[in-house]
């Protein structure tokens, strides 16, 4: 039995939201004493040269700029770590009720530790994050997951974090900010809007099948976890490797203020035509953080994106439709993403997959999951996106558009054990699948 009921966990989150002081207000860049535009380097940076930078990026075909935008450059790799322990014979995860400055609802359920390298090396002169030593000394414990995975490549430039899950067999002191909960409880809480944060979802998506295969209650998903016996990996990698070899586009970092279609307006860095985000600046005060008061830039979404995991049962085996998805900040140009991944500014009507997806939504048919979930609140301001799992009949897509592939669950779980194969949107959608 879990230590807490789901209702008790919800009450705990609500109580912390009532009692923890949070103050976040927008300011102009010039009002920040810690951040400034470096005219020589061409980017917005922190005066102690830590954390991250905001610079311009352009995509070019030959000499022609086809798109341009700001990107977040954060060269360091941070920890996204979850401690696990068997309690009363059942695996529990030590989760944190954490406030990030960009969270739309303040507190969200986060990993045990969620810290940049600047945080845990204390470059900001703040406190050391709790539970850090478990992860610095991971080899003393059972390592369930240890992968370096990509972040949102539409906003970050080649950003990655270390997704790590450790099982301990000793008593762990539990701070008021933390609670033990089962993976099943966390998955149930993912059905609440903006409650389980992006970092938790990406870490849990990396769990190897050996940890939970016997818990799968959907017979079609269980058979999918066994594998179909037919590998599509050569076909997938042939497409991806062709893209990496023959795509003629390239990206270049440029001074932020050299972006032709972006400018400062009313204290925000905005595009002069519809774009999926803008850059804002905030003064932040949060009780209980390693540093209680600071200022920083945040990327604010304009509208909500839609991420759709399309699934079908074929001969008793559940399969998932994935798409090879290039993005501006990909570590190696392209990763596998969900069948539907589109920003709020997407104009449509799209290809046969998009049309089928939209048609099913209008009919409200086959929707297995549909929840607004937040993106990373440490860098993004109030960004929430629609995450969906949609079941179709595979015969409705007799011919797949180029770059789309049907794969079984075993293949996806194998790929997530490798760095930079599945993008964060697909990993987050895999995390919402209930056992």
Query: Residue 289: what pLDDT?
Result: 72
Nearest residue to 20 via CA among 292, 382, 294, 281: 292
**pLDDT tens across the length of the chain (435 residues):** 679 999 999 999 999 999 888 899 999 999 999 999 999 999 999 998 888 999 999 999 999 999 999 999 998 999 999 999 999 999 999 999 999 999 999 999 999 999 887 666 666 566 788 999 999 999 999 999 999 999 999 999 999 999 999 999 999 999 999 999 999 999 999 999 999 999 999 999 999 999 999 999 999 999 999 998 888 999 999 999 999 999 999 999 999 999 999 999 999 999 999 999 999 999 999 887 777 899 999 999 999 999 999 999 999 999 999 999 999 999 999 999 999 999 999 988 999 999 999 999 999 999 999 999 999 999 999 999 999 999 999 999 999 999 999 999 999 999 999 999 999 999 999 999 988
Query: Residue 126: what pLDDT?
Result: 65
Kindly report whether the peptide bond that precedes residue 370 is cis, defined as omega within 30 degrees of 0: no
Query: Residue 120: what pLDDT?
Result: 66
Q: Running DSSP on this structure, what letter comes out for residue 24?
A: E
What stretch of H or E contains 206? none
Burial class (CB in 10 A: 0-12, 13-18, 19+), 21: exposed
Query: Residue 123: what pLDDT?
Result: 63
Query: Residue 20: what pLDDT?
Result: 86
CA distance 433 to 207: 12
HSE-up of residue 154 (Cα within 13 Å, Cβ side): 20
Write a three-state SS string for 63-109: CEEEEEEEEEECCCCEEEEEEEEEECCEEEEEEEEEECCCCCCCEEE
Residues 6+ apart with CB under 8 A from 246: none
- Please tell me the pTM assigned to this model: 0.95
Give the domains, in start order, of the chain with CATH numbers.
219-248+303-431 (3.90.79.40)
Query: Residue 264: what pLDDT?
Result: 97
CA distance 124 to 133: 19
Query: Residue 50: what pLDDT?
Result: 82
What phi, psi does 235 have (nearest 5°)? -65, -40
């Amino acid at each position: 039995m879990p230590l807490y009921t789901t209702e008790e966990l919800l009450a705990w989150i609500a109580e912390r939201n009532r009692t923890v002081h949070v103050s976040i207000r927008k300011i102009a860049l010039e009002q920040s004493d810690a951040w400034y535009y470096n005219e020589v380097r061409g980017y917005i940076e922190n005066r102690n040269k830590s954390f991250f930078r905001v610079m311009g990026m352009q995509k070019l075909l030959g000499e022609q700029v086809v798109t341009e935008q700001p990107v977040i450059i954060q060269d360091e790799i941070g920890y996204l770590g979850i401690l696990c322990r068997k309690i009363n014979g059942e695996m529990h995860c030590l989760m944190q009720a954490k406030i990030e400055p960009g969270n739309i609802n303040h507190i969200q359920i986060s990993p045990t530790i969620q810290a940049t390298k600047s945080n845990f090396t204390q470059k900001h002169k703040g406190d050391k994050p709790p539970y850090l030593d478990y992860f610095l000394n991971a080899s003393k414990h059972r390592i369930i997951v240890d992968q370096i995975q990509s972040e949102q490549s539409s906003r970050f430039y080649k950003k990655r974090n270390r997704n790590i899950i450790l099982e301990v067999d000793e008593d762990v002191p539990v701070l008021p900010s933390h609670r033990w909960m089962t993976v099943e409880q966390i998955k149930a809480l993912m059905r609440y809007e903006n409650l389980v944060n992006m970092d938790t979802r990406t870490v849990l998506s990396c769990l190897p099948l050996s940890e939970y295969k016997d818990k799968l209650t959907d017979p079609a998903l269980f058979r999918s976890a066994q594998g179909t016996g037919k590998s599509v990996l050569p076909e997938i990698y042939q497409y991806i490797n062709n893209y990496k070899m023959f795509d003629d586009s390239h990206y270049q970092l440029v001074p932020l203020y050299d972006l032709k279609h972006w400018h400062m307006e009313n204290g925000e860095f905005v595009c002069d035509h519809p774009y999926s985000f803008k850059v804002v600046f905030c003064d932040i005060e949060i009780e209980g953080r390693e540093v209680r008061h600071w200022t920083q830039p945040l990327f604010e979404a304009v509208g909500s994106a839609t991420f759709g995991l399309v699934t079908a049962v074929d001969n008793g085996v559940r399969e998932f439709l994935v798409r090879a998805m290039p993005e501006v900040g990909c570590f190696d140009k392209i990763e596998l993403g969900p069948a539907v991944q589109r920003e709020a500014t997407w104009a449509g009507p799209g290809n046969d997959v998009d049309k089928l997806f939209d048609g099913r939504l209008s009919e409200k048919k086959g929707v297995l999951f549909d929840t607004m979930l937040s993106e990373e609140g440490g860098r993004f301001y109030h960004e929430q996106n629609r995450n969906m799992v949609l079941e179709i009949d595979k015969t409705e897509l007799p011919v797949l558009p180029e770059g789309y592939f049907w794969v079984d669950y075993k293949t996806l779980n194998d790929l997530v054990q490798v760095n930079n194969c599945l993008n964060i949107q697909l990993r987050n959608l895999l995390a919402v699948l209930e056992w």
